[in-house]
Amino acid sequence: MNRLRLCASAALLVGACLLAPHARAASDPCKLEISGNDLMQYDKQELSAPASCKEITVTLHHTGKLPKEAMGHDWVLVNGPDVAAVANAGMAAGAAKDYVPDNDKRVLAHTKVVGGGETTSVTFATSSLKAGGNYQYLCTFPGHSALMHGTFKFG
């Protein structure tokens, strides 16, 4: 019986050690994750990070199966009032530019466009963000921003 308890304890300890790096990464408030699917939906309508973050990494997972040419998704951070204008400018920029115009000052951060099964990330400095500011994120793939958008809270 003691040998069984010892083996069980050892197995739990090994399992905890193997999972610990993943638990730490998931609990980092400056590393955020969001997913998009083939139904033009993000899995989160709100993301938040504390003002103590000097930089933030957002990782976008496309959980669908369709290619990026048919159902591509990106993650674009803007000031709240700029959502519609950035979405329209994205359509004009086209696929070659991942639906984000070059040097658009309204775009605070963005990922590239990915298709089903793909993942992309963006890391950006928070020096241009204000705690409590009105920030929104959206997908700039044509037609997606109507459904794929959310609130970004900083601070």
pLDDT, tens digit, 9 for 90 and up, residues 55-107:
999 999 999 999 999 999 999 999 999 999 999 999 999 999 999 999 999 99
Per residue in 128-142, pLDDT (tens digit) is 999 999 999 999 999
Residues contacting 81, CB < 8 A, separation 6+: 134
Please report which confidence band the pLDDT of residue 26 belongs to, taking 50, 70 and 90 as the band edges. low
Pairing of strands 76-79, 55-62: unpaired
**Contact criterion met (CB below 8 Å) for 114 and 74:** yes
What is the pTM (predicted TM-score) of this model? 0.83
Instruction: Report pLDDT for 27.
Output: 87
Instruction: Answer yes or no: is pLDDT of 4 > 90.
Output: no
pLDDT greater than 70 at residue 8:
no
Residue 42 has pLDDT above 60, yes or no: yes
CA distances from 62 to 50, 54, 75 (A): 25, 26, 11
* All domains of the chain in start order, with CATH: 27-154 (2.60.40.420)
